[in-house]
Structure 1
């Protein structure tokens, strides 16, 4: 669309005649608008073109079902798939780049084992190390994970 508008702008600039009393901005805007309209007129709707508001079938309740109805329901599915892929990528990074101790701290802190996340104090008690050491391990592990996931 930007390309079509740019073509209209170029045509407007090259054909502009200041002696006719019009401003360049007004004339160029009309040229851009006309170029876009000509582009859309030239496009033929093919059998493959589908509108989101087109009806695709009748639902089980007898009501017409549009493509938009199906797409909006699948939007959540796409988010779930994307979220699942991100989680798998995170778990791979945890397994591949963290030490056993870093892995344990991260899993406990962020509840990656299906259990609720724990506070640093709780992680310290479970692992038998100081809270400040848990903090340092967590910071180091998160830096490693960020670096791994950015690559």
Structure 2
């Protein structure tokens, strides 16, 4: 009876070569899991570079791990490239896409998103090298862009995060941000019409104005108006129709 043994890889590089050569099956799945476990510290190290930028650490670690898995699945050891040199840009690219696609409260152009990240990284680097907060001119020179580009990026960064309408704005918490926002005043839509209505009413005959006033301001019925001014209800109806037609024509012309 022939006994077969499974060779255990001795190094990370050897593990990746075995993974690339292994056919689909349980052994390949086991090698893949082992490669992920072995290189996971690299993903965590890269994720920690982006801590303190408004994203939960768990989300960053998850994103970096996804980038690592993509790198492992795409890596081709026959090209003669070290895995670390291939994995680092892959993981960093995944993290940057996370910031670009999922952390903006308002969608802005991709160029603006990338500029915001570049400005943030430049600001951190210049703070360390200059020993002070960098100016717009410092950042522009560091990134080889214009000061207008930097200002545009800083302005666009305001879309990165938003405040909840439930955020308290008073010390006792009795008033929230939403309470301070104005509401649509539907009466404003009628303001212009009311201003124009006065002169338009003056174009009517006195009896027409009286009938409209009794109908729409006094809330009298046509029968009550007819009894009040001494005409028939049918005549009141015709006068109201005629007066309203005049008002529409006058308001449309105005």
The TM-score normalised by the length of structure 2 is 0.34
Residue in 2 aligned with 1:38? 110
Is 1:62 aligned with 2:208? no
Q: Distance in 1 between matches of 2:163 and 2:224?
A: 52
Counterpart CA distance in 1 for 2:197 and 2:190 is 11
Unaligned runs of 5+ in 2: 1-107, 116-151
The match for 2:227 is 125
Q: Distance in 1 between matches of 2:163 and 2:176?
A: 11
- What are the residue-to-residue correspondences of 1:2-151 with 2, within 5 Å? 37-38=109-110, 41=113, 44=153, 46=155, 53=164, 58-59=169-170, 61-63=172-174, 65-66=176-177, 68-71=178-181, 74-76=182-184, 78-95=185-202, 97-111=203-217, 115=218, 117-151=219-253
Deviations 1:23-68 (A, max 9, x none): xxxxxxxxxxxxx743663763529x686747897237434631x4
Aligned-CA RMSD value: 3.4
Please identify the structure whose Cα radius of gyration is greater.
Answer: 2
Runs of 4 or more, structure 1, over 4 Å off, are: 49-57
Distance 1:84 1:52 in 2: 34
Whichever structure has more strand as a proportion of its residues is 1
Residues 70-100 of structure 1: per-residue CA shift (max 9 Å, x gap): 22xx325x223333443343333222x2110
Q: Which fold has the larger relative contact order, with Cα–Cα distance below 8 Å and residues 6 or more apart in sequence?
A: 1
- How many residues are matched? 106
SS in 1 for 2:176: strand
Distance 1:127 1:39 in 2: 74
